[in-house]
A and B are shown apart, each in its own frame.
Chain A
Amino acid sequence: MMELFLVRVPGLYTTVQDAGRFGYLDRGVPPSGALDTFAYRMANLLVGNPAGSAVLEIAMTGPVLEVLAEADIALTGAEMGMTLSGEAAAGWRAHRVRRGDVLRIPKAVKGCRAYLSVTGGIEVPLVMGSRSTLVRAKLGGLEGRILKKGDVISRGKGVLLSTPRRLPGHWIPEYGPDITLRAIPGPQDDYFTRAMESFFNSSYEVSVETDRMGYRLKGPPIFRDEGRPESIVTEPTMPGNVQVPADGQPIIVLVEQTTGGYMKIATVITPDIPRVAQAMPRNRIRFEKVTLDEAHVLFRIEAGRMREIEEHLSSKN
């Protein structure tokens, strides 16, 4: 373990996250973890970390970090205008930092969340199988909270890269204000037989009420079929569920919710959840209908693409 950063400015909502905490879903402990799983995995690959290493998730406004030791770092996800000791430092590639450097990550200009990886991963205690922060339960991460001024962030053991890695441009996602999410109808599609078509033909605005628990959307209200009750018996929720409260304004469930009593008209496919993570308030979201079989084909394609990127990046060392 090595002290790596002194936090001069913490940013709006900077937390330690990893691949998530999956062992206690049946005890009310939500999965947590990095919201944009693609950017998260890329961040670790770019500095040569094993999958599952902890990173900093940075939302909207980023931190200023004083570097205390040598390491490789990479910033992926949202474009944040990062500078390293005053020089522009591009995202989606590794940079060597040294004691005395200052890393500034001002604010998101494209996308919403960035991921900062460091050699050896962010070192915090493993709590119930994960280093992810769940602020509401004061669990994991740095004392279960967001970063604050004066925090010292450590890194784990790891080997510095012999050649810097960068992700080729064709693999870097574009973040725009109009977002299409592929979604599978259900699990309560039978409550919305009349509204289903309009749901897939409408566009929704991302509201300001967006966090790691869920994204509230505004748009044409979705009404359940006549005679259907306004809630269901409480059941587990999954990231990607589009739940519909009585007011008809949908909410995309993310990684910090475990259960709920609202009907879910559709569920965003796993490879598209990173696009939700990068949506900013006032962006527009459309849903595109896919079948379960199509979704499973897309899941395989995404897994194949990940393998390809992994091979490409690790062959460069």
Chain B
Amino acid sequence: MPDAYLYTKPRIRFCGDRAIIVEYGEGIDRTVNEKVRAMAAMLRKSLPRGVEAIIPAYRSLSLLYNPLMVSTDQIAKAIEAAEKNLRQTEIAEPRIVEIPVCYGGEFGPDLEIVADHNSLDAGEVIAVHTSVDYHIYMIGFAPGFCYLGGLDRRLHTPRRKTPRTLLPAGSVGIAESQTGMYPQDSPGGWQIIGRTPLRLFAPWREEPFLYRAGDRIRFVSVTEEQFHRVYEKEWG
């Protein structure tokens, strides 16, 4: 049996008296996560009565429900029906969200460390990091924090031995086989290679976040001057 695969039939777990978890497969896998994304999109189109929230994760969907309005049997049936309709329904392609990043210098103090660790030069690190679209498997841990997949092996780098006490919002970093962004100021041990001038989490904005699970993140390298221009607009 491989480490990651799609189940032939989803598995339902009961998570207390007002949530169920529907698992679509094993492990961390793009095919499994695509299924989760498609099911989330289907169910959001016509939310089963009594279901209050749908939370997609790596390989599962969590559904929050009001037990006064709906039974778990009814939810299970709604999920089954949605899955049947999946074949005839067009699910929108994942959105690609471009994130401008100013790499190196004061914004990316660890760019050289990542380069040295992988016997590359700084320019090559930037070229590799911007060469792929990263799949958002899920969002969690902190507001807007993405679990991204797809970091090139040539950039894998261990965490810093001593975490920094304050990373500014927008910091872009690498930790082992993961890459990611810090939506808010936060302490952290990731190797920071750059920073985006965008506000990844703006509570007052009509849409506080720029992306949702299932979207793709495309990092685009920008100059310091471009960074400051966008930064002024976003944070000024």
List the interface of chain A (C-beta within 8 A of B).
Answer: 22, 24-29, 127-128, 136-139, 184, 186-188, 233-236, 238, 240-241, 258-259, 264, 267-270, 292, 295-296, 298-300, 303
Contacts and interface: CB of A to CB of B under 8 A. Distances in A.
Contacts of A267: 15-17
Contacts of A258: 140-142
Contact of A259 (B67, B138, B204): B138
B139 A127 contact: no
A290 B203 CA distance: 39
12 contacts: A26-B54, A27-B143, A137-B142, A137-B143, A139-B203, A187-B14, A234-B57, A238-B64, A241-B15, A259-B57, A259-B140, A296-B17
Interface of B: 13-19, 21, 27-28, 52-60, 62, 64, 67-68, 71-72, 138-145, 147, 184, 201, 203-204, 208-209, 212-213
B15 A27 contact: no
Contact of B59 (A24, A139, A233): A233
Q: Which 9 A-B pairs have the closest CB atoms?
A: A259-B140, A267-B16, A187-B13, A295-B17, A187-B15, A236-B62, A26-B55, A258-B140, A236-B55
Given A259-B57, A303-B68, A235 B21 contact: yes
Contacts of A25: 53, 55, 64
B16 A26 contact: no
Given A28-B141, A258-B141, A299-B68, A235 B16 contact: no
B236 to A, nearest CB: 19
A27 B144 contact: yes
B212 A26 contact: yes
A187 B143 contact: no
A128 B142 contact: no
A186 B143 contact: no
A234 B55 contact: no
A235 B57 CA distance: 6
Contact of B16 (A27, A28, A238): A238
B175 to A, nearest CB: 15
A307 B191 CA distance: 54
B154 to A, nearest CB: 25
Given A28-B139, A234-B147, A238-B19, A292 B72 contact: yes
A296 B53 CA distance: 19
A292 B71 CA distance: 11
A128 B140 contact: no
A270 B18 contact: yes
A264 B139 contact: no
Nearest to B213: A26
A269 B72 CA distance: 15
Nearest to A26: B55
Contacts of A296: 17, 67, 71
| A27, A128, A240, A269 pick with most chain B CB within 10 angstroms | A27
Contacts of A28: 139-145
A263 to B, nearest CB: 11
A184 B17 contact: yes
Contacts of B16: 184, 238, 240-241, 267-270, 295
Contacts of B52: 22
Given A28-B141, A233-B28, 9 more contacts: A24-B143, A26-B212, A138-B184, A186-B13, A187-B21, A233-B57, A258-B140, A259-B141, A299-B18
Nearest to A137: B143
B74 to A, nearest CB: 12
A24 B144 CA distance: 9
Contacts of B209: 24, 27
Nearest to B204: A127
